[in-house]
Structure 1
């Protein structure tokens, strides 16, 4: 047994060494630096920060490098590191109305107050490979940076002047922290939103797409999508007032959904909401659609039996780290379990063959 264990350790050490070699790749090619990943693969970095629940572009870039580009593995590394960090306090809720928007669009109002800012987006690009990017040493001419706009009010407020959209009353209670406490169902909206923003982008996207295809009858308009910098403030007891710790980039999406009314609510528009670290607009839009689908009960709607309306199904399967752990554990040794299964199948086959032989003899 001791020899087997030592042999297993050597095999694991060799696997680690081989992994490091594969990660480095061809030594004749310049090594990819963390700064390069942070600056040039920023959308991947944003996803790792969002689903890893830790806003640190440098650490996210390091995790991507260590994981050889496997974003779920990188998210796992970030979450594991996050558990080692002390918590000094809680920041104030961010004021997204004070966001300095790099991108801000609305699909509901052409002449949105404050204007539409297209920003850096793939929306208007041709999906054709640009082989000029493969030319080594090429540097594109950078356009002059536009002046940063000041605080931009939310478009939904203008729609609500006519009372056509539901009011959102802020909940003064401190929401539960999904990173420190296990999820309990049924979950309130604050907890659901935490789970969705940490959830796997592909899973949330698929659920959102299902709502658009009729599985929840969730036809939505993007009331506003904005991306930009927001200051983070925290109270300092020694000073007696709050100070700004820094600025983070967020993507916020508010959707407008038609609502025919219920026994308690008049016909009006309702809301879906998404808020994610970094420039992650696809995730924010998908999150808003799923958020709205999960609100069917509180709005007095009929349960359509759609997957996106099933709170337990959505929240318990959205986390890619939990899913990965449960999925990949089956590749670990299960020798004893399989031998018992194998013996059971053999026994059942013997019994079936014996029964068949008796029936033939009769």
Structure 2
């Protein structure tokens, strides 16, 4: 298979999917869809070169889960493919979309067998219903449903992509510059996931695992005079706040680390580096909102949260219920699944000397259940 590179496109924004999870991050067992589909093909074609195309912000998380080459996509499918083709060194390239999750490896073998028939080899399906275009009934035998994967000569496809016209598949771009196209029989099972209802009809996809994951977080901040104090998203009456790059909400910072730990998505410094002025003096509730959105997009739902605030001062008993309510709202879970505790160090250490506050947080998450939800 040294003559072939497989490009899998996974940089879309899932705008038509209409669920909180990006479809490429739906969990199939434990694997996100992009990894499940890639491994499924790789098992049948172990020697093929693989390039994954992903959203730039997702690449650090994807590289922690696999050893495939992953490059940043563009604003459109065609731009993503154009980015990928610059990395292809083989004479032939096979392109498909991660959303076409149940590709039979035999279909790829048939593409390869037909590689000398034209500049691009395309699987198609016939149309069996009456077709009307612009209020005129047309001959349905002349209409084909185009699928991926498609096999192309790399040099021809590279030249075809040097255009401002946005094509929805590679073969259309190749034909537009005078290239040749050969059709082979497609596969009804290689349906594309476009809407949320599509995935439940695909028999090749096992349900997500029902395991629950738990993470912990710890953070500490010293006091800073004449700065507002926020804990758990609630303003605390105090003559000092926290010294920090953001507003210093140590409770939310620990909770973010607990959530990211449960989902194995790194830590708060990876998601919100303190070297980025975008987060200078930012309201930490915004950071938690972005963290929750990230978890949802990556296929997780939050189960519960428990935080312990360790402070000699200020006294936090009057604020615990407000913190609990605020955090539950930000996490999109019932208040009954958020627990807030406050304790002191009995005047021991820097916290006991009233120099700062520490927080320990624990959070649990599980996979979004697309199978039964």
Task: Select the structure that is richer in helix.
Answer: 1
Structure (1 or 2) with the greater strand fraction = 2
TM-score, with structure 1 as normaliser: 0.23
